[in-house]
Amino acid sequence: MIENIKMNNGVEIPCIGYGTYKVSVDKDGVQVVKDAIEAGYRLLDTAAMYNNEEEVGKAIIESGISRKDIFLTSKVANPDRGYDSTLRAFDRSLRLLEVDYLDLYLIHWPADKARFADWKKINSDTWRALERLLNEGRVKAIGVSNFMPEHLDALAETARELPMVNQIEFHPGWMQPEVLEWCRRNNVVVEGWSPLGRTRVLEDPLLVGIARRYGKSVAQICLRWAVQHGVVPLPKSVSPERMKSNLDIFDFSLTAADMRLIDSMPPTGESGLTPDSIDF
């Protein structure tokens, strides 16, 4: 049974979700997302930049699961940041997804001072559009993705609503503690993309040893660790078996000692993607 977490506006979000980035590279994207829904995922995370909103929408329709039972997230692409362009991008996402509302809409990446002299205004204007969508009831919750404390502090200067969610890279060996602390202090739910890191994480001797002791896979240890930190992990897989395995994390708990061991891992398996390095 997948538990829910209450966001700062009172709306609940499942504590684990399915990430759809690149789901249609090697397989039919519609079928892959249908497999995820059948496996039990009810939080689906997509984005305009993934170029698969149409497939995700078709999968929801063909799954036979009621729309109200799916927590659907999308994100505004970087070229569409800004007030009017964000509103247009949102309408386009709804059309592609074939829905009349979203459960969560995010700013995919912040405009950063490394590339934009007016980065604060770009982010503020984009956020103002999200606040309008929230007030109009077209989205149930709004948030950001990949925002660091400096971006969050700047946004808070003009925001009427603080983000309900900040989606960041989060996995053993890459906790981003400063971001995590900012979000906890301000009651912002953290979602974790790439919660299994890269191959180096799955082969890490510490995690392999812990997984062996619990009779679980390293992936299950990574996901359970995230959940126990109150982070919503968004694993992605095109294998129905792995989809189910990634949900099988609610019959055990990591000890406080093991949580500390994983927390203390050196940087491992990070993507290298940061707001100041993004050029798309």
| DSSP string of 65-94, one letter each residue | --GGG-EEEEEE-GGG-SHHHHHHHHHHHH
Measure the CA–CA gap between 15 and 232, rounded to whole angstroms. Answer: 5
Contacts of 48 (CB under 8 A, 6+ apart): 74, 75, 76, 77, 80, 89, 92, 93, 108
DSSP secondary structure letter of residue 149? H
In angstroms, the Cα distances linking 28 to 22, 184, 236 are 11, 38, 15
- Taking Cα atoms as reference points, which of 42, 53, 99, 54 lies closest to residue 77? 53
Helix or strand run (H / E) with residue 96: helix 83-97
> Choosing from 18, 41, 50, 105, which is the catalytic residue?
50
Report the distance separating Cα 239 and Cα 38, nearest Å.
Answer: 12
Kindly give the pairing relationship between strand 71-76 and strand 189-193.
Answer: unpaired
Is residue 25 within 8 Å of residue 51, measured between CB atoms?
A: no
50 is catalytic: yes
User: Kindly report the CA angle at 254 between 148 and 73, in degrees rounded to 5?
Assistant: 40
Residue 227 CB neighbour total at 10 angstroms: 22
Supply the residues annotated as catalytic. 50
